[in-house]
Amino acid sequence: AGGGRMLERLRKWYYNAAGFNKLGLMRDDTLNEDEDVKEALKRLPEHLYNERVFRIKRALDLSLKHQILPKDQWVKYEEDHPYLEPYLKEVIRERQEREAWNKK
């Protein structure tokens, strides 16, 4: 149990050290947009996609101004949920299935 708490503290520290949360971004906003991610983005419900676009545009604006959000607006580790992950897992599973089928 003690090791689990230590690992969780390390994850939280790393999350904050990465800095994207200070721009209002979530972890899934920072994924490299390869073909799988692009396909997963197409499958997002409109409101999730719009929220992502807003966060990215705000982060770009802040970055250009060399600013960060006020601390009370930073995305907290506990609030960051993997909104894209279920769609991405599905896309990857489908791609792997297609690749396996094409090898036959």
* Predicted pLDDT at 46: 98
Q: Helix, strand or coil for residue 89?
A: helix
pLDDT reported for residue 4? 85
Q: What is the pLDDT of residues 54-80, one digit of tens each?
A: 999 999 999 999 999 999 999 999 999
Count of domains in the chain?
A: 1
User: Which residues, other chains included, contact 80 with Cβ-Cβ below 8 Å and sequence gap of 6+?
Assistant: 15, 21, 26, 27
Residue 34 domain boundaries: 2-103
* Token pair listed for 29: 């906003």
The sign of the torsion formed by the CA atoms of 65, 71, 74, 77 equals positive
The CATH number covering residue 13 comes to 1.10.1090.10
Quick check: 38 and 88 in contact, CB under 8 A? no
Those residues of the chain that have pLDDT short of 70 are 1
